[in-house]
Amino acid sequence: MNKKEFGDFQTPELLTREIVRLLEEYQIQPDIIIEPTCGIGNFIQSAYGHWQDKGEYFGFELNQEYCQQSAQKFAGISRISIEKQNFFTFDWESFLNRFTYQKILILGNPPWVTNSTLGMLESQNLPQKSNFQGNKGLAAKTGKANFDIAEWMIIRLLELLRDRTAYLAFLCKTSTARKSLFHFWKQGLNIGDSRLYLFDAKKYFNVTVDACLFVVDLSKKVHQKSAIVYSSLDCDRKNIYEFGFQNGEAIANLKNYEKYKYLDGLSCFQWRSGLKHDAAKVMELSVTEGNLTNGFGEKVDIEKTYLYPLLKSSDISKGRTNAKKYVIVTQKILGEDTRKIALDAPRTWSYLSQYASILDNRKSSIYQKKPQFSIFGIGEYSFAHWKIAISSLYKNLHFSLVPPACVISRDLSRHLKPTMLDDTCYFISFDSQQETEYWLSYLNSEECQGFLKSLIFFDAKRVVNIDILMRINFKVF
Ligand SMILES: C[S@@+](CC[C@H](N)C(=O)[O-])C[C@H]1O[C@@H](n2cnc3c(N)ncnc32)[C@H](O)[C@@H]1O
């Protein structure tokens, strides 16, 4: 079986034992212990080592070989049953209804794989939409671009266990735990006392991702929509922060948010994302030995008319603001007819035509039925000479001043032009340097940075997003 497709990382016993030890602190005395994707059964083994014959144990697993290994391991222990089951087709409702009056602990390590990876692998290891019909939240999720299948599993189990004397303890990405909680909080539902205990996923699974043991005590009624994050699984752990949901908004650090919430408002400047063209090798040019060169290493001889200096996310995150690259900007506004390039700049048109097969076959549907060589993320604002920009991808929240820069033409004359940003940057634009510097000092101030950090989840793919930037209130400065 393909390990990637089945999110297959078996949890070492050292870790399963530590987790069971941590669960002791909850003074849980479960009657029923379930591991829904049990693999070779290390969680069941550690749980049995602790609760022994006080509980009844059920392990389910899709992989036949793992089932056999587990079944052999626990042969002769009548309290442990291992079954081959597919999480997505198993009738969880009927199964759990057998234990209405018993304390249930569901623990384990659900598969670490996203639906888009499964899509690429043409895998069927996904929930059928119909399984979740009638369930608004989950049905809605089937249309979501990218999510972890662990998120599906966690939400499904929590929905079934709500209002029961039950506990869930799963190893997962911190983003998976958080998204599962937000799924309920957004609907106004509190599901119980929720905590995230961080652990070193590199050490145990050789993956570089923020990961945690996600524990929900559904038996404890709570009034706040929040979860505490602890630094580790061991006894020396510290409570590092608490995230939550307030007034319909996600807050990454509730304590810091309290301190800076006076900055929460509506930005009077419209934040924009940079230019999108999906053809870097053709559209982005650099200068090598005095010649413009494209991403194929070919010399490019075009007019300066449609050429602009370009800064990329990596430049902005490192505070580099003197553009070393150039980009061909084929339009001034969205959907503008591009045929005039043939008249204004015949060498540029001929260059673009040479690469028409690449530009015409860009995958994203946004380019369909648009003028040839179209770009996105373009408007009057792109041509302002002064900008403040931030990268959306890096943990560094530093804002940079983006000045205009020179574009050199064939006759070596220099033309000052506005600098463009790529589509992983966000920016606001201004007419004067003075105004840009004034607002830059505010955005990089301790208070504004503190406010942003209270809202940002640093484990997200796009650390900074436009919704967060639009919440910066400039009027308090
Ligand atoms: C991250 S591993 C964890 C295994 C085990 N729980 C542990 O902690 O050692 C995920 C397990 O989920 C199993 N799995 C993947 N998709 C499944 C499905 N649809 N139903 C049941 N098990 C599945 C894989 O075979 C794999 O053993």
CATH of the domain at 103: 3.40.50.150
User: With a 6 A CB cut-off, is 38 part of the ligand 1 pocket?
Assistant: yes
User: With a 6 A CB cut-off, is 87 part of the ligand 1 pocket?
Assistant: yes
Residues facing residue 311 across a β-bridge: 421
Residue 102: the pLDDT is 95
User: With a 6 A CB cut-off, is 152 part of the ligand 1 pocket?
Assistant: no
Reference 164, options 225, 216, 100, 222; nearest CA is: 100
Residue 289: the pLDDT is 85
Question: CA-CA distances (angstroms) from residue 77 to 55, 103, 184?
Answer: 12, 21, 38
* Burial class, 212, CB count within 10 angstroms (exposed 0-12 / middle 13-18 / buried 19+): buried
Residue 140 lies in a domain: yes
Residue 145: the pLDDT is 55
User: With a 6 A CB cut-off, is 170 part of the ligand 1 pocket?
Assistant: no
Looking at the structure, tell me whether residues 189 and 302 fall in a common domain: no
CA angle 471, 139, 191 (to 5 degrees): 65
Q: Are the C-beta atoms of residues 300 and 292 closer than 8 Å to each other?
A: yes
At 327-350, the pLDDT tens digits run 999 999 999 999 999 999 999 999
Looking at the structure, tell me whether residues 311 and 437 fall in a common domain: yes
Q: CA 316, CA 427: separation in Å to the nearest integer?
A: 11
Residue 102 lies in a domain: yes
User: With a 6 A CB cut-off, is 88 part of the ligand 1 pocket?
Assistant: yes
* Burial class, 23, CB count within 10 angstroms (exposed 0-12 / middle 13-18 / buried 19+): buried
Q: CA 206, CA 212: separation in Å to the nearest integer?
A: 14
Residue 408: the pLDDT is 75
Q: What secondary structure does DSSP assign to 379-432, as a single string?
A: SGGGG-SEEEEEESSSS----EEE--EEEE-TT--EEEEPPEEBTTEEEEEES-
Residue 328 lies in a domain: yes
Q: Which ligand 1 atom sits nearest the alpha carbon of residue 112?
A: 1
At 154-164, the pLDDT tens digits run 999 999 999 89
Ligand 1 centroid from CA 38, angstroms: 6
Ligand 1 centroid from CA 369, angstroms: 44
Q: Ligand 1 test: best mutation among 5, 13, 20, 61, most atoms within 8 Å of CB? A: 61
Task: Name the domain boundary from 202, 221, 251.
Answer: 251
* DSSP one-letter code for 5: T
Where in the sequence is the domain holding 224, given as residue range(s)? 13-251
Looking at the structure, tell me whether residues 109 and 179 fall in a common domain: yes
User: With a 6 A CB cut-off, is 86 part of the ligand 1 pocket?
Assistant: yes
Those residues whose C-beta lies under 8 Å from the C-beta of residue 296, and which sit 6 or more positions away, are 281
At 75-85, the pLDDT tens digits run 999 999 999 99
Residue 262: the pLDDT is 95
Q: Which helix (H) or strand (E) holds 113?
A: none
Looking at the structure, tell me whether residues 283 and 343 fall in a common domain: yes
Reference 214, options 178, 162, 165; nearest CA is: 178
Those residues whose C-beta lies under 8 Å from the C-beta of residue 476, and which sit 6 or more positions away, are 262, 263, 265
User: With a 6 A CB cut-off, is 148 part of the ligand 1 pocket?
Assistant: no
| Cβ atoms within 10 Å, residue 268 | 10
User: With a 6 A CB cut-off, is 61 part of the ligand 1 pocket?
Assistant: yes
Q: Checking DSSP bridges between strand 166-173 and strand 104-108, what pairing results, if any? A: parallel
Residue 139: the pLDDT is 40
Residue 121: the pLDDT is 65
Q: Which ligand 1 atom sits nearest the alpha carbon of residue 90?
A: 20
- In terms of DSSP H, where are the helices of 109-148? 115-120, 136-141
Ligand 1 centroid from CA 68, angstroms: 14
Looking at the structure, tell me whether residues 443 and 399 fall in a common domain: yes
Task: Name the domain boundary from 251, 281, 312.
Answer: 251
Looking at the structure, tell me whether residues 221 and 322 fall in a common domain: no
Residue 229 lies in a domain: yes
- Strands (DSSP E) along 221-281, which ranges? 226-230, 239-246, 249-251, 272-273
Looking at the structure, tell me whether residues 297 and 216 fall in a common domain: no
**Sequence letter at residue 352:** L
Q: Ligand 1 test: best mutation among 35, 40, 62, 209, most atoms within 8 Å of CB? A: 62
Residue 452: the pLDDT is 97
Residues facing residue 208 across a β-bridge: none
Residue 43 lies in a domain: yes
Residues facing residue 157 across a β-bridge: none
User: With a 6 A CB cut-off, is 37 part of the ligand 1 pocket?
Assistant: yes
User: With a 6 A CB cut-off, is 10 part of the ligand 1 pocket?
Assistant: yes
Looking at the structure, tell me whether residues 90 and 194 fall in a common domain: yes
Looking at the structure, tell me whether residues 307 and 386 fall in a common domain: yes
Ligand 1 centroid from CA 10, angstroms: 8
By three-state DSSP, how is residue 254 classified?
helix
Residue 3 lies in a domain: no
Looking at the structure, tell me whether residues 222 and 180 fall in a common domain: yes
Ligand 1 centroid from CA 437, angstroms: 53
Ligand 1 centroid from CA 29, angstroms: 25
The count of domains in the chain is 2
Looking at the structure, tell me whether residues 317 and 237 fall in a common domain: no
Residue 120: the pLDDT is 67
Residues facing residue 430 across a β-bridge: 386
Residue 258: the pLDDT is 97
Q: Using a CB cutoff of 8 Å and minimum separation of 24, what contacts does 68-72 make? A: 69/40, 69/41, 70/38, 70/39, 70/40, 70/41, 70/44
Residue 264 lies in a domain: no
Write the residue with the smallest CA distance to atom 6 of ligand 1: 38
Start-to-end CA distance of the chain, whole Å, equals: 58
Task: Name the domain boundary from 251, 285, 306.
Answer: 251
Residue 144 lies in a domain: yes
User: With a 6 A CB cut-off, is 48 part of the ligand 1 pocket?
Assistant: no
Q: Ligand 1 test: best mutation among 6, 34, 35, most atoms within 8 Å of CB? A: 6
Looking at the structure, tell me whether residues 223 and 362 fall in a common domain: no
- Please give the average pLDDT of every successive group of 10 residues along the chain, which has 477 residues: 73 96 92 96 96 96 94 94 95 95 96 76 68 41 64 95 94 96 93 96 94 95 93 95 94 97 95 97 93 95 96 94 95 96 97 97 91 96 98 93 87 84 97 97 97 94 92 91
